Structures are given as C-alpha cells and as structure tokens.
Amino acid sequence: MQTEQELKEIVRQKYSEIALQDKEINQASCCGAGGCSTEVYNIMTDDYTNLAGYNPDADLGLGCGLPTQFAKIKKGDVVIDLGSGAGNDAFIARHETGETGKVIGIDFTPAMIEKARRNAEARGFNNVEFRQGDIEKMPVTANVADVIVSNCVLNLVPNKDAVFKEIFRVLKSGGHFSISDVVLAGSLPESLRKDAEMYAGCVSGAVQKDVYLELIHVNGFQNVVIQKEKPILIPDDILKKYLTDKEIISFKTGSTGIFSITVYAEKPKQLNCEPGSGCC
C-alpha cells in the first residue's frame, strides 16, 4: 500500500510526462473515438471544442467533465482552477470572467505550470496566472475566490478532505465551486484499486459517491447539487491487464459503477463580517 507521498509522486511523474506530449500523442493509443485503448487517461474526456474561450494548445484531453460550463462565472469574478494542467479550464474561465476578472491556476507539476504559462503568454492573457503548489495547501490567501473549478483532479489527491477544507477557506462568503470528478458505486476489484497506474489515471483514486458528497457537506458547504452525471466504461484491453476473462464479466455485470459527476456547492454567506475582511 503506497503512502500519500508516494501516490503524489507517482502522479507528479506521470503528469510531467504527459505535459511534454501533444494531445494527439496522449490520445493516439485511444484510437480516437473508436473505443480501443491502451491508456486510461483519456477514456472519460468530454469535448471542449464548442466552448467559448477554448484553446486547443491547452487541451491535453485529461478531464472528465466540463466544470466551467456549469460554474456560473460572472464578469469580474476571481476564479481558481485546481489542477490547472496546461491551462484549458483556466482559459475558458478567463473568457467568462472577462478583462475585469482574474483567474488563478494551481498545479503541483512544474512541467504543467511551465506549459500553462507559455500558453497564457502566447495569448497575451495578463489576468491569468499559474502558481505551483498542492491543492491541499493552496498558495492563496483566504476569502479570495468567487468561484472554484476543477476537472478530474481530486481523484489524484489521497487526502480529499483536506482539499475541501482548503476550498472552503479560499472561497469568499457566498462563493461556490463546480467540480468534475470520478466516483464509485460499489467496490473496485482489488487489483484495479491497488495499481499505481490506475491511480494516476483517476480510476483507483475514486471514492464512493456518497462518501464524496458527505465530504462536501461535513466541510460546511450548502446547496449541493449534482449538475451532470455519466457512466465511465473502462475498455477491455485495460481491464485485461488486471483481471481474468471471468473477472471482467463479473466486474461488468456486478454492482460496481464508475461515474463522472460534476458537483456544485456554495460556501454559506457569513453575517456580521468585519469591514474590509473580504468575507462579505
């Protein structure tokens, strides 16, 4: 059983490799829309191409939803993107918040930060910045964000409770988040759950859907809503690395389901705030 630090290092190394590749290379082994796959990283990607602000150079095909589409971003908002990668969601958020707003991307992989900064500089985006750091301990002061978005990233973090505590800390009073992530219904086969590659691919890092939602509630958020939900199907050529033919049949016909969900929740408005504190 890997420690939290070992799991984080696995993720850092894998996503450093991905940052140095083009989207086409990342997806080449997935055979486009044909369904065959020898990688797990792209099997749950949604299509961003029709969203305003989309930049293909920043799209590495690593998400599992479209959180910025549901995030209710307004002009002038301060938006934080957790696990910002090459900048895809941050740039779409920037289109929504406009010139008067600000977008901060946070990622703990130096290669991703460098790629995102190059993408922002090439487009002259002076109100988008990328900071290296862990989302369990964000390099951001409290009560600063109107909106937080994240796309298939909390699965990569062993301590998800710490992330939700940090989200609560950095959101302004009345602020909200829209997060796409992967959750489970039922238990994954042990061989899938333990494999480091499957963890870095967002699958074995998933927790039960009810546990995930409970973490949101116990950390003080309200008006929790699932904005979108879709099943994730793992291709047979991936499953065959871990399971026998009989186990694959059992897995597919059993009670276990893997889902991408996009969840919205709000930080309650705080009353009697001190003037200038940023919480009101």
Please report whether residue 276 resides in a domain: no
CB atoms within 10 A of CB 54: 16
Task: State the Cα–Cα distance between residues 80 and 89, nearest whole angstrom.
Answer: 10
- What are the pLDDT digits (tens) for 102-132? 999 999 999 999 999 999 999 999 999 999 9
Q: Each residue of 60-92: pLDDT tens digit?
A: 666 788 999 999 999 999 999 999 988 999 999
Rounded CA-CA distance 111/129 in Å is: 15
pLDDT of residue 79: 98
Q: Within a 10 A sphere around the Cβ of 25, how many other Cβ atoms?
A: 11
* 249 within domain boundaries: yes
CA distances from 145 to 14, 33, 76, 243, 262 (A): 29, 37, 11, 44, 19
176 and 79 in contact (C-beta within 8 Å)?
no
Within a domain: 130 = yes
Is 272 a domain residue?
A: no
Q: Which residues contact 277 (CB under 8 A, 6 or more apart)?
A: 143
Confidence of residue 274 (pLDDT cuts 50, 70, 90): very low
In a domain, 186, yes or no: yes
Residue 277 maps to a domain: no
What's the domain count of the chain? 1
Q: Which domain holds residue 175?
A: 4-266
CB–CB of 90/53 below 8 Å? no
Its sign, for the CA torsion 18, 23, 28, 29, is positive
CA dihedral (185, 214, 212, 3) positive or negative: negative
Residue 275 has pLDDT above 50, yes or no: no
| Angle formed at CA 109 by CA 104 and CA 114, multiple of 5 degrees | 65
Full-model pTM: 0.82
CATH of the domain at 193: 3.40.50.150
Residues 6+ apart with CB under 8 A from 84: 90, 105, 106, 107, 112, 116, 130
Asked if the structure places residue 279 within a domain, the reply is: no
pLDDT single digits (tens) 88-104: 999 999 999 999 999 99
pLDDT value of position 113: 95
Please tell me what DSSP assigns to residue 189.
P
Domain assignment present for 76: yes
